[in-house]
Structure 1
C-alpha cells in the first residue's frame, strides 16, 4: 500500500463524523419539508448522521485495505441492507433516498481532493483512488436499491396475504352452521387460500354445514367453478355439507352456457332460505 493512500484513508476515518455532518446539512437544505416533517427529521438527525458517518468510514477503510476489495464490497452490502430497511421503515421514497448518492459522492471526493492536492499526489495514484472509490459508490447505489425494493416487496406480499386471509371469512351462524360470503374475483392464488382457509376454519368451528354465498362473485368461469367444486369435495371429506347460495341471473346464464353441472350440490336462492331449511 502506498503511503499516500494510507494517509487518505486515515484522514477519511478521522474526519468521517465532520464530513457526515456537512453532508447532512447540505442534503437537508435540498429537501422540501413541512414544519411537522422538519421536526420529525430533527429528532432523527443524530441517528442519520451516525449512519452517514459509518458509510463514509467504509471508504476510509477501503483506502487502507485497497487490496482486499471483495471484503469492502461485503461491508458495503451489509450497510446497504441495514440502511435500505431503515429508510424504508421511515417511509422515505426510494427516489428521494437515492438522491443521497450524489451528496456522498460530492462530499467524499471534496475531502479526498483537498488531501490529494496537499499531498501533491501523482496522476497515477489519483487514478488508483478513482478506480477504487467510484466502483464502490456505484455498487452501494445498486445494493441499497435492491435492499429497499426487497423490503417493499416483502411488505406488499404480507399485506396481500393479510388481505387474502380476510377475504376468506367463515362466519358461524349457529351451532354447526357457518357461512362463507365470497366477494370479488377468484384467481389462482385466492383459490388456493380459499381451499386452505375454508377447511381449516370449518374444522376449527366444528361445522356440519357451510353456506357458500357467491352473490358477490362477479365472474364464474370454468376455473372458478372447478375451484369451488374442489372446495366442496374437500369439505365433504371432513364431514361438512355445502349449500351454494346467491347465484345471480347473469352468473346462472354463464354456468349454463359453459355446460357446468351442479349435480349433487345443494343450491338455494339466498342465505335466508338455506338457513331456514337447515333449521326448519
Structure 2
C-alpha cells in the first residue's frame, strides 16, 4: 500500500503544472473576471496552484506534519493576496473542491483497471482531504478578520462623523450635534470634546444642538457634564441652537440651564467671542 501511495504522490507532483492549468475549466466566468481585474497575473495563479498540488502529492510521501506546515503557510499567503485583490470568498473556496476532482481524474485509468486497492483510495483521501479543509478554514479566517477590520474602520469613521469638532478660528471650534443623545453618545461627545480641545488648543467650543430632537432631564444632565468637564480644562462652552419649542419644554420641566452659557445661534455666540 505504501508503494501505491508513493506512486500516486509522485504522479501528482509530476503533473502539478498541468493540473493547475486544468483548474481554469472549473472556474465561473465572473470569477475569471475578478482574477483578471485583480493585481494577480495568470502565471502567478497557476504557479500557486501548482505548488499546492505539489504539497498534496508530498503529503503521500514525505513527513505529513512538515507538509501540513507548508500548506498552512500557502493558505495564509494566498488568502491574504486574495483578500487584497478583492476576490470573493465563495469563489476562492469553491475552486478548492476541484483539486480533489482533478487528482482522481489523473488516475482514471488505474482506477478503472482496479490497480489500486480500495483501502488505498481511502488513505489518499485521509491525507489530502484534511489539508484542503485546512486551506478552506484558513481562507475563511482571513476573510473574517479582514471584514472585521473593514467594519471597525467604518464604525470609527461613523463615530468621527457623529461627533465632528470643526475648528473655525484660532482657539474656537463648533461641535454640531444631530440626533438623539444616549449615554454612549454622551460619553463619546465628552471624550471627543476633551481630546479635540487639547489637540486644537481651544478656548471656546460652541456646541450646536439645533439638530437634537428632544431635551429632557437626562439629556440636560449629559450636556451639563460635558460643559463642566470642558470648563475644568479651561475651555468655555456655549450651547447654541435651542429651538423655541425646546426652550418651552426646558422651562416646563423646570430644568436649570443657568449653569450653562447659551446663545440663540452660532453667529450670535461668535460675535460675543469677537467682542470679548
Q: TM-score, normalised by structure 1?
A: 0.80
Cα distance in 1 for partners of 2:31, 2:190 equals 48
Change (3 A) 1:200 1:43: closer
Structure 1 segment 1-280 matched on structure 2, within 5 A: 2-23=2-23, 25-28=24-27, 30-32=28-30, 40=37, 44-65=41-62, 67-68=64-65, 71-111=66-106, 120-185=115-180, 191-218=186-213, 227-248=222-243, 262-280=257-275
Structure 2 residue matching 1:210: 3-state secondary structure:
strand
Larger Rg over CA atoms:
2
Per-residue CA deviations over 1:164-197 (Å, capped at 9, x if unaligned) read 2344332223332211122345566655543333
Change (3 A) 1:211 1:104: same
Cα distance in 2 for partners of 1:188, 1:112 equals 66
Cα distance in 2 for partners of 1:75, 1:18 equals 21
Q: TM-score, normalised by structure 2?
A: 0.81
Cα distance in 2 for partners of 1:53, 1:154 equals 31
Structure 2 residue matching 1:239: 3-state secondary structure:
coil
* Matched-pair contact (CA < 8 Å) for 2:35–2:87: no
Change (3 A) 1:41 1:279: closer
* Matched-pair contact (CA < 8 Å) for 1:88–1:152: no
Change (3 A) 1:67 1:103: closer
Structure 2 residue matching 1:63: 3-state secondary structure:
coil
Shift, 1:12, TM fit: 1.9
Task: Give unmatched runs, 5+ long, in structure 2.
Answer: none
Aligned residues: 275
* Matched-pair contact (CA < 8 Å) for 1:116–1:126: no
Structure 2 residue matching 1:182: 3-state secondary structure:
strand
CA RMSD of aligned residues (A): 3.4
Per-residue CA deviations over 1:240-274 (Å, capped at 9, x if unaligned) read 01111123456557767887654512222211122
Cα distance in 1 for partners of 2:108, 2:181 equals 61
Cα distance in 2 for partners of 1:258, 1:102 equals 67
Change (3 A) 1:38 1:150: closer
Choose 226-235 or 171-180, whichever is displaced more.
226-235
